[in-house]
Amino acid sequence: METQVLGLSVDSEPCLTAWAESLGGITYPLLSDFYPHGMVAVKYGVLKDDGRSERAIFVIDKEGYIRYVDVHDIDEQPDNNVLLKVLEAIDPEAAERSAELEKAASPLPPFVQPDADVVMYCTSWCPGCRRARVWFAENNISFVEVDIAKDRMAAALVREWNKGNETTPTFNIHGQIFANFSIEEVENALQKLK
């Protein structure tokens, strides 16, 4: 569809550059709302009293009207299917052309899951993924890591498991699928392996 994704943060340009590099690069422009601090966030009503901004998604149409707003907790991920439906409603003709192009494209081969008892679907930046890596290392638990930012077929599988969301970490522990790192849930799944 004819859309442009932009990231906007109250962080400085060097901070945003370092963050993007830590992810191995990103595919959309990042804008800094650092000086005057948070003025764009203020105008959109998402700057907090402590100088940080809320995590928010705004869909703005070609005429500059805000058509959708989603403000949520920093650890929550938006439902991509909801965003796609919003975009389709704004420009149904572009959505139809996009669907036709998708049908004409050759389908991706199915993702082949790693042959391991413990598989973590993750991203490099995800805080829950970092905690899980540390916990697995401290407990000498071997696992296979699949970075869904680099493997888009794996990302499609994660979306299928998580109602359209690319939730990380998502675990497949011997066929038991669950999202988000919970020591209790991981230990329960590992107990079933014994």
How confident is the model over 74-97, as pLDDT tens digits? 767 677 777 788 888 888 887 787
CATH of 7-104, one of 2.60.40.10, 3.40.30.10, 3.20.20.210, 1.20.1560.10: 3.40.30.10
C-alpha atoms less than 13 angstroms from C-alpha of 24 in its C-beta half-sphere: 7
Q: Whole-structure pTM over 0.75, yes or no?
A: no
Is the distance from CB of 168 to CB of 122 less than 8 angstroms? yes
pLDDT at residue 1 greater than cutoff 70: no
Q: Rounded distance, CA 35 to CA 50, Å? A: 16
In the chain, what are the domain boundaries? 7-104, 118-191
CATH 3.40.30.10 assigned to domain 118-191? The reply is: yes
3-state secondary structure of 179: strand
Domains 7-104 and 118-191 agree in fold = yes
Under the phi-then-psi rule, with left for phi > 0, alpha for psi from -120 to 50, and beta for the rest, what region is 6?
beta
CA 32 to chain centre: 20
Tell whether the model's pLDDT for residue 26 goes beyond 80.
no
